[in-house]
Structure 1
Amino acid sequence: MAGEYSVNGLAVPETLELLHQLLAEARVDYPDLSDVDAMLIETAVIEIAGNVVRHGRPTSQVVYAFTLRVLEDRVVGVLRHSGERVHWLPDAPMPDDPLAERGRGLALAEAALSDLRFDFEGGENVWTMVRLRESAPA
């Protein structure tokens, strides 16, 4: 059985708390979702959404919509947002400096996910995040 959760609004710092709440709600509804899968999808979602909040242009005017689907074999998050087109290079390495504060978010998200895709559709940036579940429910 699949569950779908969604939230939308302005990409401002408070957005991140709304996303944490949505992910926590899904976790309660799906206790068979492993701690590892839940933690890794949350890491990816928050890292990417955090980038939208910090770097989205025009500042405080970027509108987003996030949908999370919990499926039998995977968890899928789709983050759509307005603003300037993002230019993302997949497979970007982590910064050499372990204390670097920039350049880690998308690399962390990629490492946490089974698949990360970016598209620009209908004037919107679209991030599709897929985490294959460790073990499907019985």
Structure 2
Amino acid sequence: MPGPAAHVLRTSTGPGTLAAVHDTLEQVWAAHPVPETVRLHLDLATGEIAANIVEHGGSATLRFEVSVRPDRVEASFTDDGPPAEVDLTAVTMPDPLADRGRGLALASQVLDELTYRREGPRNHWTLTHLLD
């Protein structure tokens, strides 16, 4: 159940998913005074995770929630796509000449916490950025 400052997007993955995630974040930023650095970091990280869900998740139902709390901003993605085969503890930046593979490494670098778990038929991603 969303908290008092939560913004929720429910959609199916497809060509408009990234724009819908971005629009949801814009609504959050318009409603809550969040430092610019936190906004930039969350924009980057949510964009990377959403892009991976769209690219690797096939046709999935997606729920995106953003909660602004006194000490942090937390974003979560839940989808019913296939399991993500990822070990976040082993994520590193690829070779500088690589065409792909930077998304999770970038998200991990700009967030205070990035978690993934598979629970039943759903993927759960949680992105946390602490507020100073």
Relative to the length of structure 1, the TM-score reads: 0.88
The CA distance in 2 between the partners of 1:128 and 1:12, in whole Å, is: 21
Task: Provide the residue aligned with 1:43 in structure 2.
Answer: 44
Alignment match of 1:87 (pick from 82, 85, 88): 85
1:8-87 alignment runs, 5 A limit: 8-31=10-33, 33-56=34-57, 59=58, 61-87=59-85
Q: Which contiguous aligned blocks of 4+ residues in structure 1 show a shift greater than 6 angstroms?
A: none
Shift of 1:101: 2.6
Alignment check: 8 A CA contact 1:68 1:76 kept: yes
Spell out, residue by residue over 1:99-118, the C-alpha distance to the aligned partner (whole angstroms, 9 max, x if none).
Answer: 43311011111111100111
Gaps of 5+ in 2: none
CA RMSD of aligned residues (A): 1.4
Shift of 1:2: 5.0
Shift of 1:122: 2.3
Gaps of 5+ in 1: none
Alignment check: 8 A CA contact 1:3 1:71 kept: yes
Shift of 1:125: 0.5
Relative to the length of structure 2, the TM-score reads: 0.92
Residue identity in the other structure for 1:119? R
Spell out, residue by residue over 1:17-41, the C-alpha distance to the aligned partner (whole angstroms, 9 max, x if none).
Answer: 011111011111113x100001101
Residue identity in the other structure for 2:54? V
What count of residue pairs does the alignment treat as equivalent?
Answer: 129
1:86-105 alignment runs, 5 A limit: 86-91=84-89, 92-97=91-96, 99-105=97-103
Task: Provide the residue aligned with 1:129 in structure 2.
Answer: 127
The CA distance in 2 between the partners of 1:51 and 1:66, in whole Å, is: 14
Give the share of equivalent positions with the same residue, in percent: 32
Task: Provide the residue aligned with 1:106 in structure 2.
Answer: 104
